[in-house]
Structure 1
């Protein structure tokens, strides 16, 4: 008897729409870029280029929808400096608009020695804290956030990011067989939700109209990068 063909994974329309939005906004670009790990990457995602009110508001909608659909339980939001600061504020506004009003906080890189002082701004860190950031490459910002949250006697519960690059992290300049997202999930025991992943990016490139030679080349380059550095 012949075996039935495997059922294709259902399309994640939220991720699909987000990748298209990021490309159209110039935030997700294709070419040749050097990553923080020193790798030559065929694509680059820079959330700092969501730099007007309309784009930031749309980005916050994607975050809020993914957070709510993930089922993550949290009491407040935290944004690590610097990119996490506008992100956490915008996401808190969108969640409140959807009926999920939560306090939020963020940190400064340099502690103030006047006024309220310290490195934390916003609501007091307490309860289960959801960290909102753009991407996780080495996981450094997340680890720093976890230390701040734990120092305040709160619980680092989960992380929400825009893009999971699904590639090997580095430790002391060496590749390791797991990603920063996998490390946070498996070693730190925290939930992670991403609006989109590298798989979703490859899906976007696959489903573009035929005949676009440049996009076909980008797909081949991203796929080759995934084969070399990717993790599942």
Structure 2
């Protein structure tokens, strides 16, 4: 069952945390698609132990609450590597100890060799990433997981921007998350969505944060998906 924006306490806590940590910022930022976005989410700024540990708590809570089935975690290089490791630690703390693996960008030609590091990639695999802009990282991860003989089953991300993807420089009617769900057949669970961010900003009307609501809403009206 879906949860309406604003009724999801975990998502609201996460947005507040991301803003306080300076990971979610407001202004004018150019996206990979060449759009000027009034907000920017940079998971690379979860850059100390306390922030990464708290982030992992949000991931683990959302993953367990979603009911998604998985046997192990996979972290796409590069941002997915610390995310998968941290989430594996938090899941173990909560009583769900699962193996994890990740990939190198370049194959290693000495030692154990290969592009995959960590536990053997087996069973149903849950990919851990930060956001999805075009689904490229998901497609690359799917290929690696399938080549190892395992099943790419789901993706967990921090923020679903709920905006149109681009193909060949043109907007398309679906988002990267919708593409992964509907075209690639993977489940996707996100800690928070753009709708949750809008609710958070609206709840701070009259303050500094509330001033960004109109710009973010206009951006969603232009590029958003339902």
- TM bucket (normalised to shorter chain) is over 0.9
Matched, 1:77 2:73: yes
In structure 1, the gaps of 5 or more residues are: 1-7
- Residue number among 104, 110, 123 corresponding to 1:108 in the alignment: 104
Q: Which residue is 2:47 aligned to?
A: 51
Give the structure with higher Rg (CA). 1
Q: Give, in whole Å, the separation in 2 of the partners of 1:215 and 1:142.
A: 32
**Aligned residue runs from structure 1 range 1-232, under 5 A:** 11-208=7-204, 210-212=205-207, 214-232=208-226
Measure how far apart 1:198 and its partner are.
0.1
TM-score, normalising length: structure 2? 0.97
Number of residue pairs the alignment of both structures matches: 223
Structure 1 CA distance for aligned equivalents of residues 209 and 159 of structure 2: 20
State how far apart, in whole Å, the 2-side matches of 1:111 and 1:79 are: 16
Give the deviation of 1:48 after TM superposition: 0.2
Deviant stretches of 4+, over 3 Å: none
Counterpart-to-counterpart distance in 2, 1:128 and 1:199: 30
Matched residue SS, 1:175: strand
Q: TM-score, normalised by structure 1?
A: 0.94
Unaligned 5+ residue runs, structure 2?
none
